């Protein structure tokens, strides 16, 4: 047995080197990952989805101000659902369960607001059929538009933006059963029922609305036809709805003064039912498309409809069905609704 001297080298064996500064993995969750990746990126997507859902539900709180921002948002609010698929794809790309769960919030908010529009609420039947159409002042075929509207079998046809040049052509193209009619400025009303009390309604400096009473087999029905002022979107002025909103208030007063138990209000309102600027007109009225329609019923522009600005509203009448009609040569789609008397 030999003693080991202090100067002998240590026995050979595996060596472990302890690094005081270990290198972290370079995965997405490591501190060396680029900012905004991994979990943090998923959280940002989740926050964005939550804010989006809150904006959908709280849209009535958006101030209108001089630029009418609230009205502009409400006009195209149904299209806000197009932002949900990109959010979902982003959450899937990030592989974040938190983000995926958060994306359900705006989806549920959108369905809460507009899910009812995806359901067909119409029924068969109806005793009174009404058609309304902005045929367009530049319509090259007013006679064709007249025949298309008459083919629906409607007892009541209302038109807006009827030019003086097209007035006689439109009238002559209608079947003889529409012998009762009145035209006030650019708005007109044709009916198979006898018509009394036809008169203009003062909502603008020039005739843009009318009122008449129709004698149906089940009693009188008062009809208002209106074409509210146009709106524009400009960078400087925003959503210019002042003239339209003022005309809407005057029209609402005229309708509120009407003593008839059954009233129809139809026409081109240059605004959607969600637009707060039209709230006075919609007060106490049922929108046929919302209560008895199928889908959103967008009517303008005709080639690629983005908004429903043509309406058929009723008070004292139950909407049975409502829909848009195929395009004419106008930049608006016609709308029709049937009612139970």
Q: In the prediction, which pLDDT does 42 show?
A: 86
pLDDT of 156 above 90? yes
The encoded tokens of residue 256 equal 């509120």
pTM of the model: 0.86
DSSP letter assigned to residue 167: H
Q: In the prediction, which pLDDT does 28 show?
A: 45
HSE-CB of 226 using CA atoms within 13 angstroms: 30
Annotate 75-87 with DSSP letters as a single string: HTGGGGGGGHHHH
Range 171-177 average pLDDT? 98
Q: In the prediction, which pLDDT does 66 show?
A: 84
Mean of the per-residue pLDDT values of the chain: 90
Q: In the prediction, which pLDDT does 235 show?
A: 87
Closest alpha carbon to 239 in 76, 15, 121, 90: 76
Q: In the prediction, which pLDDT does 27 show?
A: 45
Residue range 18-27, pLDDT digits in tens? 555 555 554 4
Closest alpha carbon to 203 in 222, 217, 183, 185: 185
Residue range 274-297, pLDDT digits in tens? 999 999 999 999 999 999 998 999
Return the minimum-mean-pLDDT range out of 25-39, 120-134, 138-152, 167-181: 25-39
To the nearest whole percent, how much of the chain has pLDDT over 90? 84
Residue range 236-271, pLDDT digits in tens? 889 999 999 999 999 999 999 999 999 999 999 999
Q: How confident is the model at residue 3 (pLDDT cuts 50, 70, 90)?
A: very low
pLDDT of 67 above 50? yes
Residue 202 backbone zone (phi > 0: left; psi -120 to 50: alpha; other: beta): beta
Q: In the prediction, which pLDDT does 300 show?
A: 97
Query: Which backbone phi and psi does 246 adopt, to 5 degrees?
Result: -65, -45
Residue range 202-244, pLDDT digits in tens? 999 999 999 999 999 999 999 999 999 999 998 888 999 999 9
Residue 117 neighbours by CB distance under 10 Å:
16
Residue range 84-120, pLDDT digits in tens? 999 999 999 988 999 999 999 999 999 999 999 999 9
pLDDT of 50 above 80? yes
Return the minimum-mean-pLDDT range out of 30-34, 41-45, 208-212, 302-306: 30-34
Q: Are 329 and 166 in contact (CB under 8 A)?
A: no
Q: In the prediction, which pLDDT does 85 show?
A: 96
Domains, in order of start, for the chain: 38-118 (no CATH), 128-340 (3.60.10.10)
pLDDT of 313 above 70? yes
- Contact partners, residue 200, CB within 8 Å, separation at least 6: 184, 185, 207, 209, 210, 211
pLDDT of 165 above 60? yes
pLDDT of 10 above 90? no
Q: In the prediction, which pLDDT does 292 show?
A: 97
Q: In the prediction, which pLDDT does 47 show?
A: 94
């Amino acid at each position: 047995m030999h003693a080991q001297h202090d100067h002998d080298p240590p026995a050979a064996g595996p060596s472990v080197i302890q690094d005081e500064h270990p290198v972290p993995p370079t995965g997405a969750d490591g501190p060396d990952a680029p900012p905004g990746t991994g979990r943090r990126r998923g959280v940002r997507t989740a926050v964005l989805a939550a804010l989006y859902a809150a904006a959908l539900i709280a849209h009535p709180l958006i101030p209108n101000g001089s630029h009418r921002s609230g009205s502009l948002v409400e006009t195209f609010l149904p299209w806000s659902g197009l932002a949900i698929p990109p959010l979902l794809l982003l959450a899937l790309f990030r592989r974040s369960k938190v983000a995926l769960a958060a994306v359900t919030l705006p989806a549920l908010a959108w369905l809460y607001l507009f899910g009812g529009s995806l359901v067909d609420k119409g029924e068969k039947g109806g005793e009174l059929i009404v058609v309304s159409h902005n045929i367009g002042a530049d319509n090259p075929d007013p006679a064709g538009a007249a025949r298309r509207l008459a083919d629906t079998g409607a007892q009541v046809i209302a038109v807006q933006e009827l030019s003086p040049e097209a007035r006689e052509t439109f009238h002559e193209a209608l079947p003889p059963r529409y012998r009762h009619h009145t035209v006030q400025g650019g708005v007109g009303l044709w009916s198979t029922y006898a018509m009394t009390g036809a008169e203009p309604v003062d909502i603008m400096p020039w005739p843009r609305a009318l009122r008449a009473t129709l004698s149906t087999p089940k009693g009188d029905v008062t009809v208002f036809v209106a074409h509210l002022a146009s709106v524009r979107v400009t960078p400087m002025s925003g959503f210019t709805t002042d003239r339209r909103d003022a005309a809407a208030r005057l029209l609402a007063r005229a309708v509120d003064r009407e003593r008839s138990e059954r009233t129809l209000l139809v026409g081109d309102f240059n605004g959607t039912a969600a637009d707060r600027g039209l709230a006075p007109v919609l007060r106490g009225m049922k929108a046929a498309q919302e209560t008895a329609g199928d889908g959103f019923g967008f009517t303008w522009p005709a080639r690629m409809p983005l908004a429903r600005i043509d309406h058929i509203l009723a008070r004292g009448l139950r909407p049975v069905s409502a829909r848009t009609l195929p395009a004419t040569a106008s930049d608006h789609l016609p709308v029709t609704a049937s009612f139970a008397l």
